Amino acid sequence: MTPGQAELDAMLARIPYARFLGVRMELHGDEMTGVLPFAEHIIGNPTLPALHGGVIGAFMEMTAVLQLSIVEAQQRQPRPVDINIDYLRSGRPQDTYARALIKKVGRRIANVQVEAWQETRRAPIAALHGHFLLSPRDAGG
Amino acid sequence: MTDAPIPNAISERMARSPHGRALGLELVRVAPELVLKAPYKPELVGDPDSGVIAGGVVTTLLDFACGWATALALKEPTSIATLDLRIDYMRPSRPGLDIHATAYCYKLTRSVAFLRGVAYDEDPSDPVAAAQAAFMLDSNAGRGPGANLEPPRPRAKRPS
């Protein structure tokens, strides 16, 4: 069974780093959108000001992990193996959104792409693609 | 090798980064190589079942280390921004241990700096993660303080 919004909220509430960043996940039908609300403590460049690139990367990575968790039940949280992040625009001091697209789920590895945007999805501020190690619940190990 | 710059100036600039302060980042040394430290904090745990620090914290620490290695490699200070960042996660860090990151700039061009970095908990030869990054130089490019508080500049229509 696919988890609903309540299960997703419970999953996030258990992750201290998600609370530290203030990340939320919103589920509409089978589409999940990550929300990174603007906060002073996620600014990296105080002059422009701009969000810290590492935080945008971390947010996209978290969106990928949760998207994988809701698609297939896992024994453990999916773990990143490698990720590539392209920074396209500077992150303005406002809320940021992200959606993950699972390109392939293999027996052990999933390939996921994520895009993050602010004003409009047509102008992404960053993109991530990466591989994640899975532990499917029915695979016994 | 360039002369080691004054760590105080670097520490001050680092202290100006709100996210660096939120993570409690510390500059360990700048020579012979740059080393940053993210102290273990329970609020940075990414997997509550294992107590392991979130991969995102390692990503952020390596981004910081690459950024500061770029700043150290530059003769004249300029604004910089990450263009791309690749991270390989070799193993989970050990719960309770601080994470360190080191980075060096192996090529500097007029517009771009190329960097490699490593994150480890205890032993640099047993890394937690490795990074390869490119940074844009003069990334503010005429945008002054507060530029990001303005709405985005209108762009020419994209070809469809």
Q: What is the pLDDT of residues A31-63, one digit of tens each?
A: 899 999 999 999 998 888 999 999 999 999 999
Six token digits for residue B89: 């996660």
Residue in A129, A130, A131 with CA at minimum distance from that of residue A108: A131
Query: What integer pLDDT is reported at residue B1 of this predicted model?
Result: 45
- Residue B8 pLDDT > 70: no
Any idea which fold A5-133 has? Thiol Ester Dehydrase; Chain A (3.10.129)
> Are B96 and B145 contacting, i.e. CB atoms less than 8 angstroms apart?
no
- The dihedral formed by the CA atoms of A68, B89, A55 and B7, expressed in degrees to the nearest 10: 170
- Give the mean pLDDT of chain A: 93
Which of B43, B64, B136, B148 should one mutate to test binding to chain A, selecting the residue with the greatest count of A CBs within 10 A? B148
Contact across the interface for A80 and B55, Cβ inside 8 Å:
yes
In a domain, B58, yes or no: yes
Q: Does A10 touch chain B (CB under 8 A)?
A: no
pTM higher than 0.90 for the full model?
A: yes
In a domain, B145, yes or no: no
Which of A40, A47, A121, A132 should one mutate to test binding to chain B, selecting the residue with the greatest count of B CBs within 10 A? A47
pLDDT-derived band at B2, boundaries 50, 70, 90: very low
What's the total number of domains in chain B? 1
Instruction: Please state, as a whole number, how many other Cβ atoms lie within 10 Å of the Cβ of residue A94.
Output: 13
pLDDT tens-digit profile of B96-112? Answer: 999 999 999 999 999 99
What is the span of the domain harbouring residue B57? 7-140
pLDDT tens-digit profile of A121-136? Answer: 999 999 999 999 998 8
Q: At residue B25, what is the residue type?
A: L
Q: Which residues of A touch B148 (CB under 8 A)?
A: 48-50, 90, 92-93
Q: Does A16 touch chain B (CB under 8 A)?
A: yes
> Are A96 and A115 contacting, i.e. CB atoms less than 8 angstroms apart?
no
Q: Please report the ipTM that was assigned to this predicted complex.
A: 0.93
Instruction: Please state, as a whole number, how many other Cβ atoms lie within 10 Å of the Cβ of residue B2.
Output: 10
Helix intervals (H) in chain B: 7-15, 18-23, 55-73
Query: What integer pLDDT is reported at residue A92 of this predicted model?
Result: 97
CATH number where B118 lies: 3.10.129.10
